[in-house]
Amino acid sequence: MSAATFDAIIYNFGLFAVFVFALTGAVCAAKKELDIFAFILAGVVTGIGGGTLRDVLLNIDQVFWIEDPAYLSICIFASVITYYAAHWVVHLDKFLLWLDAAGIALFAVLGTQKAMLFGAPPLVAVVMGVMTSTIGSVLRDIIMQQRLVIFDPEIYVTACLAGSTSYLALIYLEVEPLTATLIASSLAFALRGFALALDIRFPSYQ
């Protein structure tokens, strides 16, 4: 498989992951019985919030969804779908968790990659990766004024962290970026999937 084909796959999978994030955001608006603009706000914030904060902090010339508005379109599309088919989407809750797992696994790695590309030191790159995957849901919960899902003692941030640090390690071991992306994302997804399947949680402080 050529690098260009691989890039196209990653790009399309990225768009799909943003779509899934936006769905999980819009579902929150559905549960609160809000109007369509609230669906869109929740969908957009959840879909692109993490990547936006990453790009703003890295002071990148153009935030990714300004450069390529397809990300924004797909968030709005996901929100409108949810508005008109919320009963149907809400029933997908369990399935969405798995798609979300794939999304955070990918973005933890892509976020780390982008931060490294813009010269961020290793620790910062890891934090950026985790942030890309998780801040969208934090912003969603703040806007929706509900308990932060990220505070649930699940293997969620851990999975992102595994993806992000393993990608960094693989790059330092001079593994090819394409291969490193695949391995690190798979590791993050496996960890999150494992937790989902077995309902494993992290101990909280008492």
Q: Which residues make up the interface to a second copy (CB under 8 A)?
A: 29-30, 32-39, 41, 44, 52, 56-63, 65-66, 69, 72-73, 83, 86, 120-121, 123-124, 127, 138, 142-143, 145, 147-148, 150-151, 153, 157-158, 202-206
Whether residue 16 contacts residue 132, with contact meaning beta carbons closer than 8 Å, is answered with no
How far, in whole angstroms, is CA 109 from its chain's centroid? 10
Cβ nearer to a second copy, comparing 48 with 96: 48
| CB 206 to a second copy: min, Å | 6
| CB 194 to a second copy: min, Å | 17
Cβ nearer to a second copy, comparing 4 with 147: 147
| CB 71 to a second copy: min, Å | 10
| CB 8 to a second copy: min, Å | 21
| CB 47 to a second copy: min, Å | 12
Whether residue 54 contacts residue 111, with contact meaning beta carbons closer than 8 Å, is answered with yes
Cβ nearer to a second copy, comparing 60 with 183: 60
Cβ nearer to a second copy, comparing 17 with 120: 120
Cβ nearer to a second copy, comparing 150 with 182: 150
How far, in whole angstroms, is CA 66 from its chain's centroid? 18
